[in-house]
Chain A
């Protein structure tokens, strides 16, 4: 059974600092790994999807890496802004349609 862990559960940084968010998964046989952003009381916004054959994906200030052999993915957010404050969730797709989510990392970027 796939298990996904995100550490730390919460993170606070000053504006301008780079953010590094970690995600680990127990079963390396994944189709893809997805990163989402969730604002308080809201739904999820898809940020990046990394296919199992890829090592990383980039979108603007966001970069996500994937290392299947070690069961890890990392989301980097460059030059953080107060608007980046949210909860970031990673999810591993192990069955082609079944996402297993981590508990999330709550990020606060202080002006």
Chain B
């Protein structure tokens, strides 16, 4: 149980284009999903917290107009990187909270974005 998927697993795009990444909770409903970014040899950095049906909360320094997050249902959140540039190349990971009192997060397998 508690499986989270991401699609695509990797994507290569040209500078200036937009890329959408999907995060799905497959066997549970997730009221809250998180988006992280991880650069090579670094730890995960939280980008934003997404609650179903409401606007995402972005961490300081993360441009909300560049990283558009939509959490339209209890099983799907999307991250769109708009006008991507090479410095946006990174490993993007989502997680979902299954609920309960301990807030255990279940993570997706990640999406490797390369911007040329």
Partners in one complex: no
Using a CB–CB distance below 8 Å, which chain B residues touch chain A? Answer: none
**Chain A interface residues (CB < 8 Å from chain B):** none
